[in-house]
Structure formats: C-alpha cells, structure tokens
Amino acid sequence: MPIEKRVVIKIGSSSLTSRHGEISKIKLEKLANEIAKLKDAGHEVVLVSSGAVAAGYRKLGCLKRPVSLPEKQAAASIGQGLLIESYSHLFLSHGYVASQILILRSDFLDESRYQNVHNTLNVLLERGIIPIVNENDTLSTERLNFGDNDTLAAKVAGLVDADQLVILSDIDGLYDKNPTIHEDATLINHVSEITNEIENAAGGSGSAVGTGGMKSKIEAVKIAMASGISTFLGNANKEDIIVDAVEKKATGTYFTCEKTVTTLNQKKKWIAFHSGSKGEIIINPHAADRMVKKRKSLRLKEIHLVKGKFEKGAVVRVMDMEGEEIARGVVKVSSSGLNQMLQDKTDQVMDSTVIIEMGDFVCHIDAPISIGV
Ligand code: ADP
C-alpha cells in the first residue's frame, strides 16, 4: 500500500484525562481507534502524548494531581510506563506495534543526538511502528509540561519531515477571542499567516484574552510553518476527528503554508531550527553579499567583530553591520581563537582561514532561522 502521509499527532493531557485528573480509558481508546484507522488507510503516524503525571500520581500516593516539581517528576516516572503499557495494549489490539521515545529539549541542541533521534524515528516509521514521543519529564530541569508538548510536537514534525501536524485539544480550534470567556467568539477555519491579530487572539503579548495554552499552540504552528508543514487544530472529543483532519474535512482550524520553504538537508535544518546559537560574528558588507547571494564560505578577513563566547563547532549568528541576522552557521574556530587571530592580523592567516564552511550555514532567505530556538 503506498504511504499516504506522515502525520504527527499531539494530544494534551486535558484531552486524555477524566474530570478528576486521572487518565480516561475511554478517551485513550477513542484516540487509539482513530489512529489505527489512519494507519489502516496507509498513513504513518507519530503520536506526541502528554499524560504521564496523570497516569502516575495516584500510585505515588497523591490524592490529587501534585503541584510541586519533584512530585510531578516522580509521578511521571511511574505514569510514563503505565501510559505506554496502555497505548501498546490498545494499538496491538488493532495489529500495530507502539514504541516509546523520551526526548529532552536539549537533545535538539546537540547535532549528533538530533541525528540519532531522526534516524531512530525513520526506522520505526518505515517498519510501520507507531512511535509515542513525550518529553523526558523525570530528567527535564525545565518547567514540567512546558508548552504542554505543543512545541515539542512541532519540532518532531520538522524532524521527521511530516506532511501534517495535528494538534488535538479540548476546544474546536482557534477562535478570534477566548471562547471560554467570550460567548460571541467565532471559530477561524483557515489561517495562512500568523499575523499580530492571530497572536492576539491566542493571548499573545498585549492581549488580555487567552491562556498560555493557545499561545503555545500558535508557537508550535509557527515552528511547523517554518519547516513547510501545515497544522490542524481541533477538538479531541469529536468523532473521527483524526481521519477527518487528514482528509481535510474536519471542523477546526487549518493552518496552511502558502510560501514554499526551501528544502533544507538535515544538517541545515538543525542549524536553522534547533541548534540554538552561542554568539555573534559581525561581518563586512562584501562578505554579507557573498554569503547570502553566492552562498560562499566566510573567511577570517571578512569578520569585523566577534561577540560572546563559543567553542569550535558551535552555531553562531552571522550579523551584518546594521545588526540584522543574515545567517547561522557552524564555526571552525572558537571565539577566543578568533579574537586572537583578529588581534595578530597575520596576513597569511587572515587571507587563507575559513571560519564557516560553505555547506555549514543557512541564510535567512532559505529559512526563518530565528524560529524555534
Ligand atoms: P491542551 O491541554 O489540549 O493542550 P490548553 O488548555 O493548553 O489545551 O489550551 C486550550 C485552551 O485555550 C482552550 O480550552 C481555551 O480555554 C483557551 N483559549 C484561549 N484563547 C483561545 C482562542 N482564541 N481560541 C481557542 N481557545 C482559546
């Protein structure tokens, strides 16, 4: 059967739990049934699922969902296994094997770990497995449930070159204002660009409406859009929402990318969207032209100034003299080495030393490099 689409589905804890905050068997079953239907139709699926704390807090001895970070992490360490056990069982009943991948946000910052996750996910998808991804809550030093996995799902979608990201929530989609407060809020069916209006509707800066929840979904949409991936946002409780979302007939919000994003190879994608940047190199106008228009390597003699501290192999922001970021690339020399060479100004070294190799940078016109880091 031909592969139809590669779909990343993100489901939030609120869509997996009962009123009391525990995992709801009925909701989990509905999700697994619908994912199985998508698999039956020939699509590849990665599931990004929250719910580890909800699945584990009672066994930790807590009567309600804990609030302190150590207790949440302890609950997650019990619940993650239980959650995966339930998913595995449900998917197996449909004839599909599930796998677990726990990711830390910092895994995306390291190129070899990023490549490893990419390779692992590809093998699993090619073999028809359903990878279930979650943040490694027990190890994460960041705030637990940061963005409730929305941005993690968008990054995973970019990592596996997904055709579509489906974010399921407890609401029908993006409204022009928070529908839980405003009765006259209207559902927005289609968004092709994230404008200030959209950010404000979702509770962006300067707005009194909305919660972090919708805001983090819009952040996720932006990350997906930067990689050329369309996103659907809809209500997890609706019947057949997943299949309908992929077949473009669901009620909800479709975020589509009209601009064709240049296809970047894995290394360049990592540089553009995941690497994080350690410092800045300010270059002269001639070099800026060579880098952006001709994609030529950056040489030592073209550097005007080095800002910040970074090691050899780090990704730095390449700035023009006006302070605009024009590219991001991997440096062959550390900041201290660079400063020393710039101070010595040895003619031969200045002329012959390449600081960022041709294939090791991404220009702003290839990708919106500031997104997702
Ligand atoms: P999940 O747990 O599924 O990730 P969240 O609770 O984090 O979902 O976010 C969804 C919530 O965002 C909605 O239930 C709603 O209360 C709130 N919200 C705020 N602004 C909007 C908006 N403009 N459109 C839709 N929902 C919004």
Determine the Cα–Cα distance for residues 129 and 97; give it in Å rounded to an integer. 5
Arch. (CATH architecture) of 266-363: Roll (2.30)
| Pocket test residue of 50, 176, 209, 214 for ligand 1, highest count of atoms within 8 A of CB | 214
pLDDT surpassing 80 at residue 206: no
Percent of the chain with pLDDT over 90: 62
Convert the pLDDT of each residue in 44-73 to its tens digit.
999 999 899 999 999 999 999 888 889 999
Query: What per-residue confidence (pLDDT) applies to 144?
Result: 45
Its pTM stands at 0.85
What is the CB < 6 Å shell around ligand 1?
12-15, 148, 169-171, 174-175, 177-180, 201-203, 209-211, 213-214
Convert the pLDDT of each residue in 176-185 to its tens digit.
998 988 899 9
The radius of gyration of the chain's CA atoms, rounded to the nearest angstrom, is: 23
Residue 155 CA, ligand 1 centroid: distance in Å = 20
Query: What per-residue confidence (pLDDT) applies to 209?
Result: 36
Determine the Cα–Cα distance for residues 343 and 63; give it in Å rounded to an integer. 64
Residue 175 CA, ligand 1 centroid: distance in Å = 9
Domain extent listing, the chain: 6-255, 266-363
Q: Are strands 130-135 and 98-103 parallel, antiparallel or unpaired?
A: parallel
Residue of 178, 254, 257, 252 lying closest to 214 (CA atoms): 178
* Phi, psi angles (nearest 5°) of residue 309: -115, 135
Contact, 35 vs 91, CB < 8 A? Answer: yes
Query: What per-residue confidence (pLDDT) applies to 329?
Result: 94
| Pocket test residue of 18, 165, 180, 255 for ligand 1, highest count of atoms within 8 A of CB | 180
Is 6-255 CATH 3.40.1160.10? yes
Convert the pLDDT of each residue in 250-286 to its tens digit.
999 999 986 555 677 888 888 888 887 789 999 999 9
Residue 200 CA, ligand 1 centroid: distance in Å = 13
Residue 30 CA, ligand 1 centroid: distance in Å = 21
Query: What per-residue confidence (pLDDT) applies to 202?
Result: 86
**Counting beta carbons within 10 angstroms of the beta carbon of residue 237, is it exposed (0 to 12), middle (13 to 18) or buried (19 or more)?**
middle
Taking residues 210-238, report their average pLDDT: 86
Taking residues 219-238, report their average pLDDT: 92
Q: 6-255 and 266-363: same fold?
A: no
Query: What per-residue confidence (pLDDT) applies to 352?
Result: 83
Confidence of residue 216 (pLDDT cuts 50, 70, 90): confident
